[in-house]
Structure formats: structure tokens, C-alpha cells
Structure 1
Amino acid sequence: MNEAASTLIGRLGSWFSPAASAEIAAAEDAALRSDRFRLEREGEWKRLEAIVNRIESGRLRRISDEDLLALPALYRTAVSSLAVARETSLDAETLAWLEGLTRRAWFIVYGPRAGLGDWLLRFFGGGWGASVRALGTDILIALALMVTGTIAGWLLVASDPDWYYALMPGGVGDARVPGASRAVLMGTLFGQQDQQGLSVFAAFLFSNNAQVAILAFALGFAFGLPSAMLLIQNTTMVGALVWLYHGQGLTLEIIGWLAVHGTTELYAILLAGAAGLHIGRAMAFPGEAAVLDAAAAAGRRSAQVMVGVVLMLIVAGLLEAFARQMVNNTAGRLIVGGFMLVLWTGYFFVWRGNAREIG
């Protein structure tokens, strides 16, 4: 309402009764307050609208860093203004425009940032690797725990072979038991592509390792302690198995048998355990942040790593189902396993791509 209109209302008020004049005066005051309210905030509304228009039209490069940083605050101001405007006599047209603006801004500030295709490009193009590298300390801790578990498994069965039956669940080892001859153990590694024993044991290993990977991550909220215990417990089985074959001079052969899919599968367990430890460390040592805030931030990063872990387990399953059955010699198995180890390590720690974590 402009000054002329306000003056006119004031003059008209003098022609009516005192009560009517009071009502007109109140209306005039409300209109003036509404005008002041709009004029005081309209500049911020227009700035927010300009930013939203540029983002919606895809002209991100034309948005300054200052405007991007101001976007959340401008959105909150507009929402607050809308709440006040609904309780005042702000004209209906402006109120409808403000409602539409806040609705559009919400999708910019809180809505989905990209489609599935864009997300996958960013994930495989460097986002996954950046999240893995952010877990560097936790990966080293998880690796140390897995090595410790392997050594512990070896030492336990070396001191008392009965430990083998405690570490290896009954029924999955078939002929792989202490005292088995070299010929029997050799037969479990080669020439059994058409038999069920090898497939059953390999399927057990894959199922067991997949469960360990998921649990190691899921239990990280308990300050990472269950994750650490699972990493140690699971790798004691590896140590026991290698000890068994080493006793018959088949160390390289069992390593080759495990390497085909194990360099991918155990790598996945390593990352899952590190993800769980990352959450646990964030809760135990949150720094200046609140415990829940620190855990939430670590959880988002770890969850992205776990998406990749699931993919690695799928790749490991394919390698176990096909590559190991087709490659029936130790040298070939070591080459396949070594190639996968170099591939994963290079992808995570050498190749950077778009090295920004996906938010």
C-alpha cells in the first residue's frame, strides 16, 4: 500500500463514526505493517528466487560461492517469513508467490541432488575410492586384526590339532582334517570341478564371509569392539586351513586356491570391518562434535563404502563360481588373485578420478 492510499484511507476515516474510524485506522495500521514487513524482506526473497532460477535452469557456473553459501540461510529466512505472513494481512498474491518460492527452494536445499545415473557415475568415478581412503586409519587397524587372527588360528591348531574342529564348523571341511594325506588334500584342490565337495565348501566360505562383512559393519556402533572380534574370529579359520595344507607341503597351492576369489572377498571384509571400526572410533572419540553427530557423519561415509563392499562380494561370488573352476593350476590361480588384488588397491588408493566423497 503506497502513501497516497494510506492518506485516502485516513481521510475516509474522518467521515465515519468513531467506531468505524477506529476499525479503519486498525486496518490502515495492519496494512502499513504488512508493507513494512514485505519491504524489509523482499530483497532476500528476490535473491533466493534468482538463485533458485539459476539452479533450476542448470546455470550452476553463474552462481557465486557467496550465493551458494547463503542459500540455506535465505531458505530458512523465507520459510520464517512465510509463517509470519500467514498470520498477517499480507496480500494473497504475494503470499502465494512466497509459498511457491519456499517449495521450490526446499527441493534445491533438501531434495535429491542427482538421478541414479549421475550418482553411479560419481560413485564409480571417484566417490567410492574417496570414502575408502577416508577410512585409512581404520583400514590399517582392520588389516592388523585380520593378520592377528590368521596367526592366532595357525598357532592354536599347531599347539593342539583339536582346535581345528573348533575353528572349522563341522561338515564343511569334508576330507580337510588333521592327519589327511597329501594326496587327499591335493585332491580337494584340483580335479574336482565336477564334484560337489569343493563347491559346497567354497559356497560356505562365501556365505560365512558375507555375513561377517555385514555384521562387522552393523555392529560398529558398539564402539567397534564386536567388529574387531569378528575380524579376528573369521580369519582364525584361514590360519587353521593354511596350517593344515602347509603340513603336507601344499602352502602355495592352498594360497592359490583361496586367492582366486579371496583377494576380493577378504578385501571386502577388510573394508566392512574398517567401516564398522570407523563408526566405533567416531563414537568413542567424537572430538568437538556431539557423539550422535560424529556417529552420523561416520555412518554416512561408511554406508557408501558398504555399497561397494556388496558389489565386491558379488564379484567374489562370480570368481568363485567360474574363475576358480576354469583355472585348474596354482600359477593361474595366483595370477587371477594377484590381478584382482592389484586392481582393487589401484582403484582405491592410486586412481583418484573425481576424488570427492558423495554427500
Structure 2
Amino acid sequence: MEQPDLIRSARFRKEREEDWARLEKLVAKAESQGLHRMSFDEARDLAALYREGTTSLAIAREISLDKALLHYLEALTARAYLSVYAPQESVRGVFSRFLRRGAPQAMRRSWLFIALGFLCMGLGALAGYLLYFEDPAWYYVMMPPELAGGRGPDASTSYLRSVIYDEDPDASGLGAFATFLFSHNTRIAIFVFGLGVFLCAPAIALTFYNGLIFGSFIALHVDRGLGWDIAGWLSIHGVTELSAICIACGGGLQLGAAILFPGQLSRIESLRQAGRDAAKLAIVAAVMLVAAALLEGFGRQLIQDMNTRLAIGWGIGLLWLLWFALGGRARS
């Protein structure tokens, strides 16, 4: 019985192996150069031979030919399928489409969750600000020591002022503080997105806590008459950086809401659908954090005028808002 099967397998292979070799050659060319660089005849033959290949695979499975042939046909047809039907777009094209349409459209669809992220941050900042003026000792409760870096209620006003206006921020410790602040905020953004799936609570708590830190830090300088000065220093990168945290929080809340309120869908299906936009929000937050790092790295040191820093920080914030509001809208 085994001998007739081998003979049948050899005959089957011999009758079709020329077409398979031609298909393999076309697939290799499509993989290396792309369909757009193939001639019309080659693209036509690729599609036709792919269909013939799937037919051969179906026949091979039906008549139980040798496993080596089955594995070869399965791999070949899978590669041909990707060459014929997979999106023929470069990484640059995918990223460009994401920036032009995907990201702003996802932001608009998720506006409620993003607004909740900003609300959590804003309430935390307000609470931190008010608690400081209720009792400055709250500052040490809310502010991690490594973030404070010597800036607290016990520090003198002249010291706080000198830190902000020192032309050598590395010598004053402000450069180290800014670097640590960026690292801290990046971790917070990752956590609020990743932990949002756990019924939203961790994302809300972390965003609120980050607001507490921000509010108490601002209150310290306002109390010393340096509110405008620290606002200028923080604005140049903080508008983008803190917005990224709120957007990441919105993405996490979107995942958590999909589990809490799946509607008519199963929780897995609801999470899968919500994850499409939530993942885009996470990428937007990552892009904004990179932009904030560049603004902090160059703007903080090169631009010393507080009014200019305020204008740059909030001007760039306005550009982000215009991108989110207008990007990807269909033209009439």
C-alpha cells in the first residue's frame, strides 16, 4: 500500500512542480522588491499560480500525500497569500497614514476617555495645590524625595529662584531634576495605560497621584512668589508631557471600560475592539513623550525668557490640539 502512495505522490509532484517553481520565484521577487516593481504579466501569473497552488494543496491533503510535500505547499501558499493580499505599504507609509488619519481619528473617537484622563490629572493637581496651602507639611507626603531634590518648604526663596534661573542647570541640579521628572512621567504613562485594563482604578489612582505631585510643586513656588517663573519652566515641555500621561490614561480607561461594560459583546470581543483605538492612543502618548524630551533637552537650556517658554509650550500644545481635531477628516 505504501508503494502506490509514493508513486502517486511522485506523479502528482512531477505534473505540477514546474508551476510551483514558477510561483516560488515570483513570491521571492514580490517579497524582496514589492508588487509595485513587478510587471503586469508577473503580477497576473502570481495571482493565478497562487490559486493553482491552493488547489494543489487541497488535493494533496485529500489524497494524503507525503508530509514533506504537504509542508512545502503549505509554506509556499502562505507566502503567496501574503504577497497577493497583504497591504503593500512600506513602514514609512504605514507611519505616515497613522499620523495623517489613524491617530487623530482614534483620538476623536476616544475623546470621553481622554477627557476623563485630564479630569483625573486636574483634580489631583487641584488637591495637591490646596493641601499644600492647608499645611505645607503635605508637600513631603505627596512629593517623592528623589523628585524634590532639595526643593521644599524648608528651602529658601532665593535658592528656589537661583535653581530656576541658573544658566548652568546641571550645576544647580535642575537638569538632573528635569531628567528624573521625564523618566518618572514616562513610567507613569506606561503604567496608567497598562493597568487601565484592571477595571480602570489603577489608572485613575496613578494619574490623580501624578496630579498631586504637580499641584504641590506649583504651590510651593506660588507661595514664594515664583509661580510665573516655574510655570514658564514647566510649560515648555510639561504641556506636551503631562498631556501624554492623560492620553495614556484615556487609553487605559478605554480598556477597563470595555471589560466593565461589554454591552452585547463578550468581554474578550469588547476588549479586542476597544484595543484598536487604545493602542493608537498609547502610540500617540509615546510620540508626545519623545517630543517632550526634545523640548526639555533643547528648549530648557537654550531659552531663558519665561514668556518665550510659555509661548512655545502652549503654542505646541495648540498644535497638538489642532492635529487631533482636524487630522484625518474627509475632504468635501
Question: Shorter-chain TM-score: what band?
Answer: 0.7 to 0.9
Distance in 2 (alpha carbons) for counterparts of 1:80 and 1:146? 59
The residue aligned with 1:46 is none
2:176 aligns with one of 200, 210, 213 = 200
The residue aligned with 2:152 is 177
The residue aligned with 2:320 is 344
Deviations 1:303-344 (A, max 9, x none): 222222212111111111110111112111101111111111
Distance in 2 (alpha carbons) for counterparts of 1:192 and 1:159? 34
Distance in 2 (alpha carbons) for counterparts of 1:237 and 1:259? 16
Q: Quick check: 1:216–1:228 contact (8 Å CA) kept in 2?
A: yes
Q: Could you list the runs of 5+ residues in structure 2 that have no partner in the other structure? A: 1-33, 37-49, 65-69
Check 1:299–1:231 CA distance in 2 against 1; reply closer, same or farther (3 A cut): same
Distance in 1 (alpha carbons) for counterparts of 2:265 and 2:55? 27
The residue aligned with 2:98 is 123
Q: Quick check: 1:172–1:200 contact (8 Å CA) kept in 2?
A: no
The residue aligned with 1:314 is 290
Q: Quick check: 1:133–1:348 contact (8 Å CA) kept in 2?
A: yes
Give the share of equivalent positions with the same residue, in percent: 35
Q: Quick check: 1:257–1:333 contact (8 Å CA) kept in 2?
A: yes
The residue aligned with 2:140 is 165
The residue aligned with 2:209 is 233
State the 1:191 CA deviation: 2.2
Distance in 2 (alpha carbons) for counterparts of 1:354 and 1:79? 39
The residue aligned with 2:303 is 327
Distance in 2 (alpha carbons) for counterparts of 1:112 and 1:228? 38
What secondary structure is seen at the aligned counterpart in 1 of 2:145?
A: coil
The residue aligned with 1:104 is 80
Q: Could you list the runs of 5+ residues in structure 1 that have no partner in the other structure? A: 1-55, 59-74, 90-94
The residue aligned with 2:228 is 252
Mapping for residues 1-359 of structure 1, pairs under 5 Å: 83=58, 86-87=61-62, 104-105=80-81, 108=84, 111-112=86-87, 114-194=89-169, 195-352=171-328
Distance in 2 (alpha carbons) for counterparts of 1:354 and 1:104? 34
Higher alpha-carbon Rg: 1
Distance in 2 (alpha carbons) for counterparts of 1:281 and 1:80? 45
Check 1:204–1:107 CA distance in 2 against 1; reply closer, same or farther (3 A cut): same
TM-score (ref. length: structure 1): 0.69
TM-score (ref. length: structure 2): 0.75
Superposed CA RMSD: 3.1
What secondary structure is seen at the aligned counterpart in 2 of 1:86?
A: helix
Distance in 2 (alpha carbons) for counterparts of 1:155 and 1:247? 11
Check 1:145–1:79 CA distance in 2 against 1; reply closer, same or farther (3 A cut): farther
Q: Quick check: 1:150–1:238 contact (8 Å CA) kept in 2?
A: yes
State the 1:354 CA deviation: 6.8
Check 1:128–1:354 CA distance in 2 against 1; reply closer, same or farther (3 A cut): farther
Distance in 2 (alpha carbons) for counterparts of 1:228 and 1:318? 28
Q: Which amino acid aligns with 2:206?
A: L
Q: Quick check: 2:203–2:249 contact (8 Å CA) kept in 1?
A: yes
Q: Which amino acid aligns with 2:193?
A: F
Distance in 1 (alpha carbons) for counterparts of 2:79 and 2:222? 67
Distance in 1 (alpha carbons) for counterparts of 2:114 and 2:330? 21
State the 1:197 CA deviation: 0.7
State the 1:180 CA deviation: 3.2
Distance in 1 (alpha carbons) for counterparts of 2:111 and 2:257? 13
Deviations 1:185-204 (A, max 9, x none): 21121124342410111111
Distance in 1 (alpha carbons) for counterparts of 2:211 and 2:253? 17
Q: Which amino acid aligns with 2:195?
A: L
The residue aligned with 1:26 is none
State the 1:217 CA deviation: 0.8
Distance in 2 (alpha carbons) for counterparts of 1:117 and 1:297? 25
State the 1:253 CA deviation: 1.4
